[in-house]
Amino acid sequence: MNSVEDKPHNYEVPGRLPVNHWALSGEWIIKRVSVVLNKPTGKIVYRFHARDMHAVLGTISPGSSVSFRLLIDGSAPGEDHGIDVDANGYGIIREQRLYQLIRQRGPVTDREVEIQFLDPGVEGFSFTFG
């Protein structure tokens, strides 16, 4: 991904991501240790191979919240949702911490997760897998 550090830049997700790669869509600011959504309706797309997916996320303004919707391979996660996401894929970021996004019940295969942020001001730091 070509990035512009410390300045707002509009990103687009490529047609197909290789496993263990991610991309941004929308207007983001890439910082040294994080990415910040500058305008609403941005997303992060990640292609992975693991049972669990977690992310360290937060908001840039203390006391604020950011709503999001998560899709796995284009659909709501259903029973594969993590504790911080409901079966329809909705969740809220209220503080900086580790969020459990996916806890797959079936076989582990290559999956693509799309996290659609409905509000600006989310800050993403890292993803972890189990």
Has residue 2 been placed in a domain?
no
Domain assignment present for residue 100? The answer is yes
Q: What is the pLDDT of residue 5?
A: 82
Report the CATH number that the domain containing residue 16 is assigned in CATH: 2.60.120.260
pLDDT per position as a tens digit, 67-80? 999 999 999 999 99
In a domain, 59, yes or no: yes
44 domain-assigned: yes
Residue 24 placed within a domain: yes
Q: Is residue 26 part of a domain?
A: yes
List pLDDT tens digits, range 23-37.
999 999 999 999 999
The answer as to whether 3 is a domain residue is no
Average pLDDT, the chain: 95
**Weakly modelled stretches of the chain, pLDDT under 50:** none
Which domain range does residue 21 map to?
Answer: 8-129
Q: Is 23 exposed, middle or buried (0-12, 13-18, 19+ CB in 10 A)?
A: middle
Residue 52 bridge partners (DSSP): 103
- Residue 15 burial (C-beta neighbours within 10 Å; 0-12, 13-18, 19+): exposed
- The pLDDT, as a whole number, for residue 1 is 56
**In the prediction, which pLDDT does 2 show?**
65
**Residue 126: predicted pLDDT:** 96
In a domain, 97, yes or no: yes
pLDDT over 70 percentage in the chain:
98
User: Residue 46 has what pLDDT?
Assistant: 97
pTM of the model: 0.93
Q: How many domains does the chain have?
A: 1
Q: How many CB atoms within 10 Å of residue 8?
A: 13
